[in-house]
Every structure is written in structure tokens, then in C-alpha cells.
């Protein structure tokens, strides 16, 4: 009769298993944090400097469009908050 394979394994102490798991999770966490840092830097890095007029005009247009979209979003958020709080203009009857 053969014994199951899990019996032949040498048992690890509970504290050693916890230490190993803690080290593994710390390494995994550090790798994930590094990936997030790289992604954040890539997304929010400033645009490269323009080397000709076309790039300059394109950067100016894109920055203007970004500002416009930000103002548009801000107005919609303020409008939504005002409607929730009912602090908008009230009509006279």
C-alpha cells in the first residue's frame, strides 16, 4: 500500500510559512506599486516640446480642448449638485 504524497512532504512550521507568505506578498505588492508608478508617470507626463509650428499649433489646440472639457465637466458637476441640494433659482408664481 502506497502512502499519499502529502504525507511524505516535510511539515513546515507555521511561523516559517507565515514569514514566507509575508515576503512573497510584500514582493508582489512592491511589483504592483512599481507598475502603478510607471503607468501614472506615463499618463500624466507633460507633452514633449514642439519642434516646429505644426506641433506647436497642435499642442495649443489640445491644451485648449482639455481646458474646455474641464470647464464643461465642472459646470455639469455644479449643476448636478445644485439640483440635488435644491439651491437653484426658484420660479415665482
Q: What is the pLDDT of residues 45-91, one digit of tens each?
A: 887 788 999 999 999 999 999 999 999 999 999 999 988 888 656 65
Whether residues 64 and 92 fall in one domain: yes
Do 76 and 54 share a structural domain? yes
Q: Which residue would you say has higher pLDDT here, 39 or 11? A: 39
Q: Answer whether residue 5 is part of any domain.
A: no
Range of the domain at 22: 11-45
Q: How far apart are CA 21 and CA 86, in angstroms?
A: 53
**How many domains would you assign to the chain?**
2
Based on the domain organization, do 56 and 92 belong to the same domain?
Answer: yes
Domain contains 25: yes
Amino acid at each position: 500500500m502506497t502512502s499519499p504524497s502529502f504525507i511524505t512532504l516535510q511539515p513546515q512550521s507555521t511561523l516559517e510559512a507565515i514569514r514566507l507568505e509575508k515576503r512573497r506578498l510584500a514582493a508582489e505588492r512592491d511589483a504592483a506599486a512599481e507598475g502603478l508608478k510607471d503607468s501614472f508617470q506615463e499618463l500624466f507626463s507633460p507633452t514633449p516640446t514642439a519642434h516646429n509650428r505644426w506641433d506647436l499649433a497642435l499642442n495649443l489646440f489640445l491644451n485648449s480642448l482639455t481646458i474646455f472639457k474641464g470647464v464643461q465637466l465642472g459646470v455639469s458637476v455644479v449643476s448636478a449638485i445644485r439640483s440635488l441640494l435644491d439651491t437653484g433659482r426658484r420660479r415665482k408664481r
